[in-house]
Amino acid sequence: MARREKRYAIAIDAKKCVDCKACVVACRAENDVPVEYSRPWINEDHRGDWPRLMLAFEPEQCHHCDDPACVRVCPTGASYQRADGIVAIKQSDCVGCRYCVIACPYEARFFREDKGVVEKCDLCSARVDRGEVPACVETCPSKVRVFGDLNEPKGRLAELLATRQYKIKKAEAGTGPQLYYLL
Amino acid sequence: MHHPTWGFLIVNYLFLGGLSAGLFFVSGVATLFYQQGKEGNARMARLAALLAPWPVAIGCTLLIFDLGKWYRFYKLFLHLRVVSPMSIGTWLLLLFTAISLLYLYSWLTADERALLIAKVPERLAFVRRFDRDLTPHRKKLAAIGVPLSLGVGIYTGVLLGAVQSRPFWNTNLVAQLFLISALSTGCAAVMLVLVLRGEMTREEMRTLFAADVLLMLLECLIVTPYLLHGELSVESVRQSLTLILGGPYTWAFWIGFVVLGLVIPLAVEARELKLSLAVGPAHASRVLTAVTAALVLVGGFMLRYIFVFAGQASSFK
């Protein structure tokens, strides 16, 4: 991949997540998403029986992959990737074939039955363009998400990724995911 | 996945697109290899040519109405994205349908054309000026159309196989399987129509059965490594195969596709082929032949049903 001037991404410190769903609600409000749908979501993992048990939450959303399968399969080019790495949909070009929904390894896209088009997280690109952070990042009370530019060496995101261990999900799908889970 | 993103409209379309590709292939090959005096080939070619454009036309209509915004379908033709199988497929379908309609026209007799032209309303009289005798161009159209039909046949499989996030699909074998199955359903459709009209000759039987037996053997040689290699592959692939090895699509796959759609027709057709090669009655039974041809079509449909639904249910864990 050619080096980008900016490369926006999110790091997630899932241990801090308390499943309050503020991110989901803030996203719906910001992006006008009805309650039946959701761009970010929270995975739940629980194991064992009392008193030996665990419960863990893990927020997830579009991974804004470097080599996004959804963009590749789109027949009209409605799905595209911005120069700063954000994967978005030009809704007026979406024909609603839903090929991208199937192609995404993370199930991060959904088909809006009411609108007839596909929708997904675009990292609140309008906010980002104004110099703000995405709504899910801003609203999180326990500061689970850290948004930033991977190519900004002095930034908080780069610092976290340089000093903490992290994992990415389903790397074997080969799409170059850019949602970093801090360990 | 909670509910499948692609449903029965897509299954039907994949089947119909493949069927048209198969019909054109049968007709095109019969035309290209037509030898003077072999009347059977010409009849078969004409029949398949008259049938070929319609399934894909219906299929494309289904495809358009499956879109979330059907009236935006024209946008598909404003782009050619070579990395998107669907984009390539859209153009292939357009070219293939156009060629197969021209090809159909080239098979109409002068009388049939006159009848058709007479039906054009007065307001659209200008259309009549486009009436041409395409008979001399038949072979050229077949030569252009056969590669296109192979393209459409294989594209229906590539559409699924090129999705890296669905381990059930993501092997090159799916494209081959869909192509061979498409050609086989084309043969079966010609067989079915000929036998229902009670006019299949020994020569036609020989050609069609030989082709279909060969195609179904090839299908067996694709399905077997699909399963074996899948079982020897990584976790996500093995996991996805449980969908047809004990999971929800097991019966559909083994009974619907393998037994009814592949093994039984293969056995019957191999026997019919043997009979048609020998001196003696041309048919073991006409009903049996019709049922067998119908089973091949059912098998082709089941294959697409299983792959569309099971594939969407498979994913990396």
CATH of the domain at A63: 3.30.70.20
Q: A75 and B68 in contact by Cβ < 8 A?
A: no
Q: B68 and A69 in contact by Cβ < 8 A?
A: no
Burial class (CB in 10 A: 0-12, 13-18, 19+), B214: middle
A and B: number of Cβ contacts within 8 A: 91
Q: A97 and B67 in contact by Cβ < 8 A?
A: yes
**Correct CATH for B8-313 of 3.30.365.10, 1.10.3720.10, 1.20.1630.10, 3.40.50.1000:** 1.20.1630.10
Query: A76, A89, A98, A109: best mutation site toward chain B, by most B Cβ within 10 Å?
Result: A76
Q: B164 and A174 in contact by Cβ < 8 A?
A: yes
| Gap from B184 CA to chain A (nearest CA, Å) | 27
CA end-to-end span of chain A: 26
Contact between B303 and B177 (Cβ < 8 Å):
yes
pLDDT tens per residue across span B30-51: 998 877 666 667 888 999 999 9
Task: Count other Cβ atoms within 10 Å, centred on residue B113.
Answer: 16
* Cα separation, B317 vs B313, whole angstroms: 12
pLDDT bracket for residue B70 (50, 70, 90): confident
| Gap from B313 CA to chain A (nearest CA, Å) | 10
Domain residues for A46?
8-182
Residue A3 lies in a domain: no
**Is the ipTM reported for this complex over the cut 0.85?**
yes
Consecutive H or E run containing A146: strand A145-149
CB of A76 less than 8 A from some CB of B: yes
* Cα separation, B249 vs B259, whole angstroms: 14
Does residue A109 sit in helix, strand or coil? coil
The arithmetic mean of pLDDT across residues B89-113, rounded, is 93
Helix, strand, coil percentages in chain B from 3-state DSSP, rounded to 5: 80, 0, 20
**Tokens linked to B226:** 């699909």
Q: Which residues of B280-293 are buried (b: 16+ CB within 10 A; e: fewer)?
A: eebebeeeebbebb
Q: Which residues of B touch A70 (CB under 8 A)?
A: none
* Cα separation, A151 vs A129, whole angstroms: 16
Residue A1 lies in a domain: no
**Tokens linked to B193:** 């129509």
pTM of structure: 0.92
pLDDT tens per residue across span A113-135: 999 999 999 999 999 999 999 99
Contact between B54 and B22 (Cβ < 8 Å):
no
Q: Is the pLDDT of residue B130 over 90?
A: no
Q: Closest partner residue to A96 among B67, B87, B90, by Cβ?
A: B67
Instruction: Identify the closest residue of chain B to A169 by CA–CA distance.
Output: B317
Q: How many domains does chain A have?
A: 1
